[in-house]
Amino acid sequence: MGRLVVILLGLFALAACDPGYDSTVLDSDGKPLPKVYRIRPGQTAEIQYRMLDAVNALRASAGAGPVQLDPALNAAAATHSRDMSVQNRPWHFGSDGSSPLDRVQRAGYAGTLLGENISETFETEMQTLAAWMEEQGTREVLMDPRATKMGFAWHQERSGKLWWTLLMGT
């Protein structure tokens, strides 16, 4: 009898692991909510180079030259991503009133800033890049033929929300 109880308890425990139905959470429009894209510690270089490769592929197809990651632009992008999270709004001004030009100068960037793209999303860097390519203004920043340097960084909140910042310069 004791053995039967143990087996039944084990089966109940296993049954609890599978809800037996599709547990996908739906949005108000009936479509599934996106799964949270979690960035793990140590993925910074991987994600930055994946973005760099994608941007350079897009630029090449448009006849623009390649860009290289710049440490000062990366630092300015990271600072702004964290600051947008603190402000809880995606915009181009820092909580201290700083502009993109101010931030890249503070980070020690000696070149000319050509533009800044920002995003507040739960999407991956590639989905964010695709969204930027769909909008004329952000696409122009990415495809600026004068660009030779790029900075790219993000801040991810505990909820999974991502604040992306991409900077292009000469």
DSSP 65-88: PP-EE-HHHHHHHHHHHHHHHHHT
Q: What is the pLDDT of residue 24?
A: 56
Q: What is the pLDDT of residue 20?
A: 36
Two structure tokens written together for 109: 């960037």
In the chain, the domains with their CATH numbers are: 64-169 (3.40.33.10)
State phi, psi for 65 to the nearest 5 degrees: -75, 165
pLDDT lower than 70: segments of the chain: 1-28, 31, 33-34, 39
Q: What is the pLDDT of residue 43?
A: 84
Q: What is the pLDDT of residue 4?
A: 38
Identify residue 75 by its one-letter amino acid code. A
Q: Which residues share a beta bridge with 162?
A: 121, 156
- Cα–Cα distance between 67 and 129 in angstroms, integer? 15
